Structure 1
Amino acid sequence: MSEEETRVVRHDERSRYELFADGELAGFARYAERGNQTVFTHTEIDEAFGGRGLGQVLAKAALDDVVERGRVIVAVCPFIAGYLKRHPGYQDHVRRAEGTSAG
């Protein structure tokens, strides 16, 4: 990844974490909050920002925020589920989505 400046913001009104790269919206991870769970449903990085590892930046920041807030992670989104499989440090904060094989 280049030296671009990135930041991730939780945008509660839109129910998503937004990733900005060099001041531009580069992608988002949509979620739904149910009780103490944050259920990730969809993650998207704009094509113009592809291939820079920004999805990893977004996933880490979003998941770290969920953990910091004492919430439980549920990954319905395949991208977030894949990230969790590659980063087992989140395991104590993850629950399987009911009726799915995600998690």
Structure 2
Amino acid sequence: MIKAVGFYPLFNMRKSEILEVKEQFAARGFRYVGTARSVDELKDILKEQDIKIVAIKDFNAHWNNVEKLRLVMAVGQRKWFHVHAEDFNLLNNLKEDIEWE
């Protein structure tokens, strides 16, 4: 099963919204393994799990270039998905890409 993690740095995701993201991933055959609120939390999850996709909602406009670079380096070669309700169908395409790798 393809593993996914959520990264929501602005604390603007309600539990119901996170549950919806989890359900959307599950409906497409992904396993949602955790939620990170900081780059450090994300890096810890990525070290422990074989994550293939990172779901991201919003970015912190006040981050300096070092924080932005840390995020990019943490995500690395993994696929990422920007969480918007109308974009959930893009998960199907990402799943196909991952399966072909």
- Shorter-normalised TM range: 0.3 to 0.5
Bigger share in helix: 2
- Greater relative contact order (Cα < 8 A, sep 6+): 2
Higher strand share: 1
